[in-house]
Structure 1
Amino acid sequence: MKQDPIFSSFLIKVASRCNLNCAYCYMYQHADQSWKDKPLVLSEKHQQLFVDRLYDYAQEKSLDKVLVIYHGGEPLIFGADKLVNFSKAIKKRLDTISCQVDFGIQTNGTLLKEEHLKLFVDENISVSLSIDGPKKIHNVYRLDHKGNPSFDKVYRALALLKKYPQIFSGCIAVINVNYSPRELFQFFSENEVEEFNILLPDANYTSPPIGRDQNPDVYIDWLIEAFDCWSAEFPHIQCKFFESIILALLGKSGQTDALGLGDVSLLNIETDGMYHDLDVLKITKEGYSSLGIGLETAPISAAAQSKNIEVHRKLLSKEGLSKTCLACKHVDICGGGSVPHRFGTEGFDNPTIYCKEMYALIDHISEKLIQLVDQELEKNESSSILFSQKEMEDFCIYSNSEKQIRKLQEYVAQKKRAQWERIAVEAKQRFPSQEALINQTNNQVSSVGERALMHPVSSSFLDALEQSLKGKVVEGMDGTPLPIDIDFLHLIGTKLLRKEEFVIQENHDWYTHALGKDIVFNHPQTAFDLGKKVIEDALGMIQEYDTHLYDEMKIISPYIYIVKDKNSPPDRDISFADETLPGAIFIGVWKGNRCLAPYKVAASMIHEHCHQKLYLLQERFEIIEPQDVEIYSPWPEKYRPPIAALHAVYVFIHVAKFLNHVAICDQNLQEEIDLTLERIDGCISEIQEKVQFTPMGALFFESLLKEWELLKSQSLCLT
């Protein structure tokens, strides 16, 4: 059985009248005219009843924090001193159960005085101001009952509020599509307003948006222009409307009623003490927001159980959306739009009356986000991520490489985060029944950061999932289609979290799929124990050889897997790494039925680590210019693409350095070292003759040649 909603916000109509007569007002200019029969202000009796009811409800639900918003009409008609006394009474009572109360007031500002603000500061009552922008825009609709403009009085209130920033919570503005959005943003920027929200004029299918009949695209054009203007010129101003859409696109919850999914969390109390649902529902029909009970007859928990609230909750879920909305690609972002804006003669079974506007705007913002990510990556490429010659030389060796490695990993982390955000949006559309799982994964990623996305398995799975969402068949290394199971996401950030310490043989079925059925991971316990001991001994040798290399491997290649290849000849030892599994190296420790010597296993681990290190560099930079050329590689004794030959030179230089170090342990290594040096020399000559590098690739190859010259000069075995 679905639990009752929890009210955490309480909108108190302390006054039922207003000294302004704004043309678009949902309270006075739409279907529900019941305000005419309401008391002018909330009585002392109902004030005390609210204090008692709120105390009981907070205690019943174990609430530790609530928000009380004073509203109207114009709440200052009630009196600033009365608002303060009311707030003191609420706070005093709820303090006894350690429930914090935040207070706010939404005002048109015309009655606001500095003495009021001093009182509000003492009680920490925040103030939000309704102002539609500069004078010529504001005075179009915000007039008093005699038709007089209100801007001058409201602007004086804005000037006062700027003197009390500790309680000034920003502005709200109803948009007027007949004026440029830039004028609106410029006004708030010049007046140092740090936060404001834009509101679409309240409308529905019985009362369509102002002016759209003459220009069907006028709201689309205005909103897109406004977003572009805000994001390019005024991002220093918080605009909840746009920020909420961005958050929704990133899989997070926003703070605007323009987006429809969520739950009921606000209870409205009118001046007669009656409980009401969301007050903007007054634009639908007479009395629709009323719950039929009030402070005098029922506790707040009874309001949460009312039929009207149940209907509203359904409308805030996918179950309550129209077929049009459910078929829309933006359903998880828009959520059907504002509930009052869906109303028509047959009820709420419609998308928002601003459907085409929201669709076009979300499309536009989504595209802009992708462009911004690309621009940020390009910006990084031209700034701090670029390596100087000295930095590239440091990268090629172990002792000074960590700074450069961290730079590269930070870049990869940004790419992975952007990839996950794309996947989350697309996956919600493709797998609507898994929305909770996707949100849970997003929360986990937000909690632990990019480490959740950079585990070898997470990275590989997300690459495959993204391709699958594009309709592509994704295959493992043996050509077998990979199983793409969305349930896999629950492991990301929980069981799959990248570490910077050696992890030997972390079991996961994904490796079997990705690498193919011929690669064996499961070994008899005795054989595995022997293999693990060899790996540990090999790591000890690497640490003794070069602690910087050992530490670097923990950062780049911490995941070590003991494997066999069913198709490999018994007398051949195998090892490999793959760029689709960043951070993992796969090592064979047996030759036939006997374990390899630890130094041989250590050489294989260094070899595969160097591949992973170069893959990391390739994630950020193109190394070789596109060209139709192949290089003879003497190790497999065949022609290969230039990048493969470059990999071979890089890894074997470092393997040869290590073998020189351990040659004293095995005099038979001299022949192997000599052959390796001869092959490196021949492959380098081929590369120098045939390969055209990018600027960063040229830096890398130049640094590599310095390593090569150093190796030749230090080699014990070079003839």
Structure 2
Amino acid sequence: MPCEPTPRGFTQFVVKLHSRCNLACPDCYVYELRDSGWSAQPRVMPPAVMERTVQRIAEHVRRHRPPVARVMLHGGEPLLAGPRRIGRFAEALRAAFGGLDTALDVVVQTNGALLNRTYLDVFRTWGVRVGVSLEGTREAHDRRRRHHSGRGSHADVVRSLALLRDPEYRPLYGGLLCTVSLDADPVATYEALVAEEPPVLDLLMPHGTWQFPPPGLPAEPGALPYARWLAAAFDRWYDAPEREVPVRLFDSLVDLHLGGAATSEVWGALGSDVVVVQPDGSIEQNDILKAVHEGAAHTGYHIDAHGFDEAGTHPGFAAERAGITGLCAQCRACPVVDICGGGLRTHRYRRENGFDNPSCYCADLRALIEHVRDRVSGSLRALAKDCHKAVTGGAILPIMGRSADVEPLH
């Protein structure tokens, strides 16, 4: 479906300081799926490209003046760029934002295997937060995140997380990221993540398309494997006597059901607000498009010749930001479209008609949305009952507690 270009500014800039990785994860969307563009990239971003990238980010933010701009260092594995190179980049960013009224949030998203005090001291100096990928339990993690030798990386990551929990470095701890694995127990996964005391965590579904579906899809009608996995994790999170940790996927969905705004790109119709700069200076769309086909994220723009406003006129960015009007007819007619937003654009792709489809997770997304809706509405009914009891001296229960009126999805 054609969309008009938009001049809307970006607020999330993914910068690839390094193009390779120290792990060999079998389902990595950068290295193991449909796009081989990483192999043509220089291993590290040259200094001139780093400098130009900083200038382009600062000029874009100066023009649009968002409250917050986030610069996310990805890879490959960004720590392969080394502490000095990362420090120079962060220092240059801080200097370029001097005098701007936009807050700068610099985050390095790492697999955690290489993290040590040398990196953390640099990150503390330049205000760089650290997000770490962890797949829950040792067994689940080592099955999916392995060194090139085949050895699992869980022990390395756990050592890194112990450093981040140290009071000296705790302010740098940005959170945990976990990809749903159907062969891992959802409650055990959640509890293993909580045990690392993250300030926030997020759960992601594996990237796939209708042509190349994620593991476990297509399932038998009514099987809803991802909805059931996530519903079990949600119930464990929701029913805790006290909130243990914010979970972006769940918090955002609950907020939407209560009339709030989405804080996760998975939900709502705003689309992704991400632009990527590759090590050679190429400007690309969201990296997850590499799960679609060769060159799906390509724009033809380069940091030397183009600013982010010019890059933002690319039809791909316009389609990402088109909202509900950019969805297929089936999605537009769906009663939960305002919450679902059609799912991630990558997951809608089909060779025959591009992105003009529902998400390949459509049934699972709707089932999860309805499960959470029922849990939230049940809690509100329970609260109303308890408020009535309180008038005559009864106790008021927390709004987030389990309601006996609701049958969870299992």
Distance 1:191-1:263 versus aligned 2 partners, 3 A rule:
closer
Instruction: Indicate if the aligned counterparts of 2:276 and 2:287 stay in contact, CA closer than 8 A.
Output: yes
Q: C-alpha deviations, 1:424-482, integer Å up to 9, x for none?
A: xxxxxxxxxxxxxxxxxxxxxxxxxxxxxxxxxxxxxxxxxxxxxxxxxxxxxxxxxxx
Q: Choose 215-224 or 81-90, whichever is displaced more.
A: 215-224
Distance 1:97 1:252 in 2: 29
1:364 corresponds to 2:371: yes
1:169 corresponds to 2:169: no
Distance 1:23-1:257 versus aligned 2 partners, 3 A rule:
farther
**Equivalent position amino acid for 1:265 in 2:** D
1:112 corresponds to 2:115: yes
Q: What's the secondary structure of 1:90's corresponding residue? A: helix
Q: What's the secondary structure of 2:244's corresponding residue? A: coil
Where structure 1 has 5 or more consecutive residues not aligned to the other structure, the ranges are 389-413, 415-719
Distance 1:3-1:34 versus aligned 2 partners, 3 A rule:
closer
**Equivalent position amino acid for 1:363 in 2:** E
Post-superposition offset of 1:214: 6.3
1:7 corresponds to 2:10: yes
Distance 1:378 1:63 in 2: 43
Aligned position for 1:341: 347
**Equivalent position amino acid for 1:256 in 2:** S
Aligned position for 1:179: 184
Distance 1:3 1:17 in 2: 33
**Equivalent position amino acid for 1:210 in 2:** P
1:274 corresponds to 2:309: no
Q: What's the secondary structure of 1:27's corresponding residue? A: coil
Instruction: Indicate if the aligned counterparts of 1:260 and 1:338 stay in contact, CA closer than 8 A.
Output: no
**Equivalent position amino acid for 2:227 in 1:** I
1:71 corresponds to 2:77: no
Distance 1:94-1:367 versus aligned 2 partners, 3 A rule:
same
Q: C-alpha deviations, 1:190-227, integer Å up to 9, x for none?
A: 33233111111111111112133566432232122121
Correspondences of 1:186-335 after superposition (within 5 Å): 186-213=191-218, 216-233=223-240, 235-259=243-267, 261-314=269-322, 317-335=323-341
Aligned length: 387
**Equivalent position amino acid for 2:376 in 1:** L
Post-superposition offset of 1:91: 1.1
Correspondences of 1:154-165 after superposition (within 5 Å): 154-163=157-166, 164-165=169-170
What RMSD in Å do the two structures reach over aligned CA positions?
2.1
**Equivalent position amino acid for 2:179 in 1:** V
Post-superposition offset of 1:167: 1.1
Instruction: Indicate if the aligned counterparts of 1:227 and 1:242 stay in contact, CA closer than 8 A.
Output: yes
Q: C-alpha deviations, 1:60-96, integer Å up to 9, x for none?
A: 3345542111111100000122111111111112204
Distance 1:285-1:376 versus aligned 2 partners, 3 A rule:
same
Distance 2:148 2:212 in 1: 22
Correspondences of 1:57-96 after superposition (within 5 Å): 57-63=60-66, 65-96=68-99
**Equivalent position amino acid for 1:338 in 2:** L
Instruction: Indicate if the aligned counterparts of 2:16 and 2:75 stay in contact, CA closer than 8 A.
Output: yes
Aligned position for 1:43: 46
Post-superposition offset of 1:187: 1.3
Distance 1:373-1:20 versus aligned 2 partners, 3 A rule:
same
Bigger RCO (CA 8 Å, 6+ sep): 2
Distance 1:331-1:188 versus aligned 2 partners, 3 A rule:
same
Distance 1:303 1:277 in 2: 9
Aligned position for 2:23: 20
1:53 corresponds to 2:59: no
Distance 1:374-1:99 versus aligned 2 partners, 3 A rule:
closer
**Equivalent position amino acid for 1:248 in 2:** L
Instruction: Indicate if the aligned counterparts of 1:267 and 1:278 stay in contact, CA closer than 8 A.
Output: yes
Q: Choose 44-53 or 252-261, whichever is displaced more.
A: 252-261
Instruction: Indicate if the aligned counterparts of 1:5 and 1:264 stay in contact, CA closer than 8 A.
Output: no
Distance 2:380 2:214 in 1: 35
Aligned position for 2:140: 137
Aligned position for 1:436: none
Distance 1:289-1:91 versus aligned 2 partners, 3 A rule:
same
Instruction: Indicate if the aligned counterparts of 1:127 and 1:168 stay in contact, CA closer than 8 A.
Output: yes
Aligned position for 1:29: 32
Aligned position for 2:404: none
Instruction: Indicate if the aligned counterparts of 1:266 and 1:278 stay in contact, CA closer than 8 A.
Output: yes
**Equivalent position amino acid for 1:186 in 2:** E
Distance 1:84-1:262 versus aligned 2 partners, 3 A rule:
same
Q: C-alpha deviations, 1:236-276, integer Å up to 9, x for none?
A: 21111111111222232222232251045321101110101
Q: What's the secondary structure of 1:290's corresponding residue? A: coil
Post-superposition offset of 1:300: 1.8
Instruction: Indicate if the aligned counterparts of 2:5 and 2:313 stay in contact, CA closer than 8 A.
Output: no
Correspondences of 1:403-414 after superposition (within 5 Å): none
Post-superposition offset of 1:387: 5.5
Instruction: Indicate if the aligned counterparts of 2:325 and 2:332 stay in contact, CA closer than 8 A.
Output: no
Distance 1:334-1:64 versus aligned 2 partners, 3 A rule:
closer
Post-superposition offset of 1:328: 1.2
Correspondences of 1:500-519 after superposition (within 5 Å): none
**Equivalent position amino acid for 1:323 in 2:** A
Q: What's the secondary structure of 1:351's corresponding residue? A: coil
Correspondences of 1:614-693 after superposition (within 5 Å): none
Q: Choose 242-251 or 36-45, whichever is displaced more.
A: 242-251
Instruction: Indicate if the aligned counterparts of 1:14 and 1:70 stay in contact, CA closer than 8 A.
Output: yes
Q: What's the secondary structure of 2:129's corresponding residue? A: strand
Instruction: Indicate if the aligned counterparts of 1:260 and 1:339 stay in contact, CA closer than 8 A.
Output: no
Distance 2:6 2:357 in 1: 26
**Equivalent position amino acid for 1:294 in 2:** H
Instruction: Indicate if the aligned counterparts of 2:262 and 2:268 stay in contact, CA closer than 8 A.
Output: no
**Equivalent position amino acid for 1:333 in 2:** I
Distance 1:349-1:156 versus aligned 2 partners, 3 A rule:
same
Distance 1:53-1:190 versus aligned 2 partners, 3 A rule:
closer
Distance 1:57-1:243 versus aligned 2 partners, 3 A rule:
same
Distance 1:272-1:260 versus aligned 2 partners, 3 A rule:
farther
Q: What's the secondary structure of 1:95's corresponding residue? A: coil
Q: What's the secondary structure of 1:144's corresponding residue? A: coil
Instruction: Indicate if the aligned counterparts of 1:5 and 1:263 stay in contact, CA closer than 8 A.
Output: no
Post-superposition offset of 1:379: 2.5
**Equivalent position amino acid for 1:332 in 2:** D
Distance 2:191 2:377 in 1: 26
Where structure 2 has 5 or more consecutive residues not aligned to the other structure, the ranges are 400-410
Return structure 1 stretches of 4+ with deviation > 6 angstroms: none
Distance 1:42 1:75 in 2: 11
Which structure would you say has the larger Rg? Answer: 1
**Equivalent position amino acid for 1:179 in 2:** A
